Structure 1
């Protein structure tokens, strides 16, 4: 009893007690599934047959699966196209919204609304905009004599359409991060530049961008990770079509796991995705000192 009573007066005990529900949830719903997925990736389990290990057969099959190679290409295409464009637009938007303008809070809130909007609602709206017959986009293009394509059913235009929607949806989040970074830059730098007669573009290039390098690094890392995990936009708008032109890796994992019931094969793909994201993130952190002044 002597050892128990003092324990009740220790901050560490109560801190652990308060963290215990979250820790249990972490172990049950994150850490345990991660290890279970790793074990399942070495099996041929399909939810109905008995569990049986098949070694590295799932991993070997991946590199002979033309669909897997195609969806990997689509995933890299999505990342390479969406990340730089999204970062540049959100940075320029943050610079604009960092000015002393009337109704500036309204503008900031308006650009952030898509981030907190339901992806289902966003998909419905954009599917209506992209509709080739009565969509707003083709209607606007007709003013200039342009016959717009079938955006979501044309293999050539389906992926750019998904990329555009994703950029629009996530623009406000990156803008908010850049805005916080801009507001942390001291005005003394710009005042010194004004004394020297520097133009606005010179201040942006030599002051704003270098001092924003830590923020840019964070936004870049998070954007790349999120782009490799894109799923809901594809699932709701195109279902990976047409002709798998928008099928990305996470969507293919979903199909193998919950449509084809190839849990072992899907788990192997999940771990391939994990190692790809891990390596890209490691390279970014390794190269951080080359382009960040901090």
Structure 2
């Protein structure tokens, strides 16, 4: 007479799970990310690679491509016997001006956010007024500042006339036009940085602030040693977005000066458009070479900030 075991072999009777079931936790997140990764590869990675490839050719965008090697880069940068493209050098230095001055939006946005984070009568009205530039189109911003800078009817010259100063033609003066456009761009960019910092201030640990107050910290010391370290993620995003905005500043220039006067307000993105798609260009290879150089400048800045943030995070741990 056989006796059934007290503990049946339930493991042997259990059905074997499939490969997906065994790796479900590891695989499921990638399945959700897959559509975004496919779109990113098609609309970002592939066009970047295509730009690199086109930059080594002479091409009008319609006919056959002609391989020219590094000739487009030699002409741009003045390698070998070629002279540096004067339009490229003007665009490059204008981009540096944009980069340096556009970064003023970050401290300006921070101080406006610190003000709006206080308990002040009518604070909602102030927030909406400071938020307003962010929601309007860059084209509208360009038109508004074009009217603001008008030599005779503009509000700027009316204000200067009130104080006894002579009228100035900001957008008609090659030495002032670039700075006038940058000032127009700083208006919505400051509002964007303000929003980032307002969001970051909501995440500041109140216990750390209270402990710092008990230790006697206030004013600039409180800001530097307690508030700003907790705003590093917002600062990083503000730097990256501001740098990208400065390097791709096309729409304001197109609306306000169209690269003039005398080409003095060109930047790399606008010069790329002129060479590739405007009536004066249709040199897709040359425009792609400009785009590649602009890409490496942008990549260099972003890589530096990513490394700096990684180093700070590693040091904190």
Matches within 5 A, 1:1-294: 16=31, 20=35, 25-63=39-77, 64-83=84-103, 85-259=104-278, 260-288=281-309, 294=316
Q: In structure 2, do the counterparts of structure 1 residues 190 and 24 end up closer, same or farther at CA, with 3 Å as the change threshold? A: closer
Q: Report the Cα offset of residue 171 of structure 1.
A: 1.6
**Following the alignment from structure 2 to structure 1, what is the Cα–Cα distance between the partners of residues 252 and 173?**
17
Q: Aligned equivalents of 2:305 and 2:34: distance in 1?
A: 32
Pick which of 11-20 and 182-191 moved more. Answer: 11-20
Paired with 2:179 and 2:293, the residues of 1 have a C-alpha distance of: 25
- After superposition, the Cα gap between the structure-2 partners of 1:14 and 1:72, relative to the gap in structure 1 and judged at 3 Å, is closer
Contact 2:189 2:242 in 1 (8 A): no
CA distance in 1, matches of 2:229, 2:217: 16
Contact 1:41–1:268 under 8 Å retained in 2: yes
Offset at 1:92?
A: 0.4
1:47/1:196 CA distance change after superposition, 3 Å? closer
- TM-score when scaled to structure 2? 0.81
Q: What stretches of structure 2 of length at least 5 have no aligned partner? A: 1-18, 78-83
- Partner residue of 2:3? none
Q: Distance in 1 between matches of 2:71 and 2:262?
A: 27
Q: Is the 8 A contact 1:213 1:291 kept in 2?
A: no
Where in structure 1 are there 5+ consecutive unaligned residues?
1-5
1:139 and 1:107 map into 2 onto residues whose CA distance is: 26
Q: For structure 1, which segment, 64-73 or 187-196, has the greater mean C-alpha deviation from structure 2 after superposition?
A: 187-196
Deviation at 1:188, TM superposition (A): 2.3
State how far apart, in whole Å, the 2-side matches of 1:289 and 1:48 are: 45
Aligned length: 287
Question: Which one has more relative contact order, counting CA pairs under 8 Å at least 6 apart?
Answer: 1
Query: Root-mean-square deviation (CA), in Å?
Result: 2.7
Assess if the C-alpha contact under 8 Å between 1:112 and 1:171 holds in 2.
no
Query: For the structure 1 residues 213 and 47, does the alpha-carbon distance in structure 2 shift closer, same or farther, using more than 3 Å as the test?
Result: closer
TM-score (normalised: structure 1): 0.87
Q: Deviations over 1:88-131 (max 9, x none)?
A: 11010000011112332332222122112122222221111111
Q: Secondary structure at the match of 1:280?
A: helix
Cα separation, 1, equivalents of 2:129 and 2:34: 36
Distance 1:26 1:200 in 2: 45
